[in-house]
Amino acid sequence: MIEKQNYKVNKNIKLDAGLLNGQGCGNLATCRYGFFPMSYNGCEIIAVYNLSYLLGRYRPLCEIAREIYPYGNAFSGLFGTWPSSLERYFRDNDFPVVKVRKYELFKKAFYENRLAVISFWNSNTIFKGLHTVCIEKISSGIRAYNHNNSCDHPVIYKHLDDYMDARRFICGYYSKI
């Protein structure tokens, strides 16, 4: 299968240690998922990697990509990974997360906790695609990792509403830790 071929390629790509940002930047952009480079479709994989890292459950990106692919790649990676399919991956790997589909409920739960993965439409129309990121509650607001394709550092927002809104929200997974 393609995930095994991609694993062989990805495990030889040197990535910076720590949290990953800017899926279209540097060596991260050359990692593969499905038939495409992660610069095109890797946001869900990177979000899960960043959540794993922040939870102290570090796993190499190449392993996470290989493991998630069978759970819900969208048309061989053309559309990345279906955000709802992450629920099964999280459950099967004992991640301490809860899935929420309503924005206001997610927002309340996130602010009561600290970490989450959130999926949302890039604009008010689905035709611009979706994006998935890991977010962290910090004293000055929230920190979004892998904010976009070309931003190689996390971005801080004062409030979650400054980053997203209920119309664009697809689903979120907040960590109970």
Domain region containing 31 = 2-175
Please state the domain count of the chain: 1
What are the 10-residue block averages of pLDDT along the chain, 177 residues in total?
92 94 96 92 96 96 93 67 90 97 97 97 78 97 95 97 94 94
pLDDT of residue 78: 61
H-run or E-run covering 155: strand 155-157
pLDDT of residue 1: 76
CA distances from 36 to 7, 14, 82, 113 (A): 13, 18, 15, 34
Amino acid making up residue 54? L
pLDDT of residue 70: 86
**C-alpha span between 130 and 61 (Å, rounded):** 21
pTM: 0.95
128 neighbors 153 (Cβ within 8 angstroms): no
pLDDT of residue 127: 62
Which CATH number does the domain housing residue 80 bear?
3.90.70.10
pLDDT of residue 51: 98
pLDDT of residue 21: 97
pLDDT of residue 128: 75
Chain centre distance of CA 50: 7
